[in-house]
Structure 1
Amino acid sequence: MNAHHRSLCPKKFTVQRTISNMSTDVISDKAAESDTMTNSFHINSRKGIIEEVKPNKSNGTVHYLAHHGVITPQKTTTKLRVVYDASAKTSKENNCLNDCLYRGPVMVHDLCGILLRFRKHPIAIVADIERAFLQIELQRDQRDVTRFLWLKDIDNPMTNACNIQEFRFCRVPFGVVSSPFLLGATIEHHLDTFHNEISNK
């Protein structure tokens, strides 16, 4: 994080209002979408992608990410996903999380070069890393800036403190401005550990 992190606003109240609106939308839409969102959340928790934290304990700067559900009915796989907004601000004067992070250089190779190399040989191999950002672990002392709120039961009101849980990311979340660089740098690092012709290319 850069020097702007000192003016990073926790914005817990704003996130509470956002999640309240989100839960209302989900309830008014379909119960199935609500179950899908909850199941996705529990899967992330079991895989160690997120972890529960105590509200009054932190290792440093605390910041809460706003999030909302995005429904894509035409998709055959993930019809609903939770999007975390690291660019949300409480006001024009306050910084968002992305304002306080170093974007990093672009690690993605030039598309024109990729297409030319793709046509150079008779056989091409394409691979994909599933949920690539979430394969990169966050340092423990940096995790509190990726906190977010979650409702145990969307049928119960948010005024009930026992119904609100606080979590934080253990992995790099999608939507953070430095995520593409962190992914590219991590891949480059692991390729450098293999001294062979393929990794050098």
Structure 2
Amino acid sequence: MPTGVAIRDVREQLFDAAERILLRDGPSELTSRAVTTEAGCAKGVLHRHFTDFDGFLAEFVLDRVDRMDARAAALRESAGSGSVAGNLADALKALFESVAVAIVALVTFRDELRARLRQTWPAGVPVLTEAMGMIESYLAAERDLGRLRADAVPGMLAPTLVGTAHLLFADRTGPAPRAEDVHRMVSTVISGALP
């Protein structure tokens, strides 16, 4: 892109380019040059808006985590309708078919990125910890509605569901798990918590 040409929504353009590369090629191919080439802009554009590449990646990860807020709200609002297993399976499938699994790999792959994220995200991998909070909140709402047993422990069920779903979706090279496989996993995990 020629110098002096205005780029609209630079951050979003760069974040979208990073997401495409991450999903298509994996974390090892995510470089500043790859991002700017994918975004169709000069390499200097990234460095004008971010302190360095790991700073860019940290903001990219946090931006994608923030996008989970709408998904979390929709899941909480589904409490009391449909089936608990169905709601959870749909939410987990939507989450892990997004960029979430690739972000986990990226955070694991880059030490400096993990260090940067620790400055604002003290524990865990941001996408996974946010997912656990989303699932735990939903399970607590379902327990309060009597659709889970009163002694169900959302704080234990949520990490089990998220961890198991992550394992189902972790292989980026093979086919994604089928909806019925995700539903069967969720049903198995929550079976003891149902009334």
Same fold (TM over 0.5): no
- Does 1 or 2 have the higher relative contact order (CA < 8 Å, sep 6+)? 1
Tell me which protein shows more strand as a share of its residues: 1
Higher share of residues assigned helix: 2
Of structures 1 and 2, the larger Rg is shown by 1
TM-score (norm 2): 0.25
TM-score scaled by structure 1? 0.24
